[in-house]
Amino acid sequence: MSESRAGESQKEIAAGAGGVALATLASRILGLVRDTAIAGIFTAFQTDCFFMALTIPNVLRRLLGEGSLNAAVVPVYAELRERGSPRDVKAYLASLWGMALVVLLLISAVGVLFSPWVVKLYAWGFAAVPEKFRLTNNLNRIMFPYIFFTGLAAISAGILNVHRKFFAPALSPAIWNVAVIVCILVIPSSLAARGINTAYALAFGVMAGGALQLGYQFFLQRRTATLPLPALEARNEGLKRTLSLLVPLLAGFGIYQVDILLSRLFASFLPQGSVSYLYYAMRLIEVPQGVVFLAIGTASLPMMSRLIARGETDALKKAYLSTLQLTFFVSIPATAGLVAMAEPVVCCIFFRGAFTADMFRPTWTALVLMSLGILGTAVVRVTTPVYYAYKDTRTPVAIAGANLIIYVGFCLALMGPWKHLGLAVALSIAPVTQAVMLMICLRRKTGRIGMRRLLARVAAFCLAAAGMVLVMLAVCSFGRWERGGNDARNILVMLAGGAAGVVVYLLLARLLGAEELGLLRRTPRM
């Protein structure tokens, strides 16, 4: 394997990740606008119910949309395009769409019909407050079929990624966010006039956004000839291979999502507002996770799958090391920046309207503690695709299972004395331990990767991040955060602190010779 091949792989990941990151950034910004509107319009009682009701559809969305389906479809489809005939490709896609339609419709129907029992599984504590449980159950019934739309959209995105189209499919969540924003701004007044709880506007927005998102994805696919008529052909060899990958993938990603389900279950027994505090903090955590880490993982999986199909294992290792280095370059300042600016960010984004002063501190302190897990999540997101490229789905599952036990132990030990902050700490510890175990096992699987050079780069990133934090804290000391997010001074100070910190980090990183700056300037794949 030549150095030029490694360089091309590195550039491909950077270019693909850049496209996904730009599109995801647009979606995350709209997501923050959406959450700002939710925090200002709806009470803690309503948001507790909505966020809890959205848990199962959202977990299934993450399980399928950001995990299992993509990782099971991409390697098989990529290999068929490399080695198979056009007829084989068409037959595989037809059987894939047919199976997906049946399974997703069945899951949606079960979720609606058995909604009260489903809600009790993860919102048991709400049963003590009948009105809260009733609203949560009704919202869950409306939103559960969202998984049908997002599951099909996940398959569509994976197929488009194999065709090296990253930007456009990654933009589809932005459409979902726009739909939710429009609904929560327009519908509540009509519901209130009829004496209906305005929280239902949130559920209607979720469903409208899901339908529009899927329509947009299919529109993108019309030029790729990848939408044959669905067929119920379970004997298709490609489909069998996808299902053989999917089962352990569902277990692995499912264990990770069980962390979220358990955090909501534990939070349902805590004082009112705990579910909302953790949700708002997690939404801010998901900005760097979605914009960069998910982007890099999404862009790297098709390329790594092609390298494995060609037998170029040395190229795969070098591509992974480059991916990991790029991830650390972003995740270290993301962690440091959110810790330093947790109070200003929560203030300016959420602290207004129905988001009252007594919700402010619990939310930003949760954000500080949950930020500590960003680095672990980043490593998990970019390391797991290497296993999938090798078609090894068992190792990540075993590691995720062991990690779940660690997570539950910390939750039970800490939620009593620290309430929702104990759950925040557990949510940070879990990805860190999982990342360490994944990297140790990968080292045994692939041999030497070149971690010594990576550690030297990580030290440089930490030094640059330390300078960034000092500048952020100095600028943000001029804020008056108790005045809330509508205070113009607070908004200007927060923006100035964030901008100054980013500039300082990039300047220091450049002085320390960070080659990642060049990679980030690569033209994104649209």
What pLDDT is stored for residue 425 in this prediction? Answer: 95
Tell me if residue 438 falls in helix, strand or coil: helix
Of 62-66, 310-314, 429-433, which has the strongest mean pLDDT? 429-433
- Least confident range from 344-353, 431-440, 515-524: namely 515-524
What pLDDT is stored for residue 524 in this prediction? Answer: 44
What pLDDT is stored for residue 186 in this prediction? Answer: 95
What pLDDT is stored for residue 388 in this prediction? Answer: 72
Average pLDDT over residues 437-465: 84
Smallest CA-to-CA distance from 321 within 2, 11, 10, 93 is with 10
Contact 116, 136 (CB under 8 A): no
Burial (CB < 10 A; 0-12, 13-18, 19+), residue 323, is: buried
What pLDDT is stored for residue 58 in this prediction? Answer: 80
pLDDT at 253 over 80: no
**Per-chain mean pLDDT for the chain:** 85
pTM of the prediction?
Answer: 0.76
Average pLDDT over residues 460-485: 95
C-alpha–C-alpha distance, residues 39 and 51, integer Å: 12
Contact 128, 160 (CB under 8 A): no
pLDDT at 221 over 80: yes
Average pLDDT over residues 336-359: 95
pLDDT at 84 over 80: no
- Least confident range from 380-389, 392-401, 468-477: namely 380-389
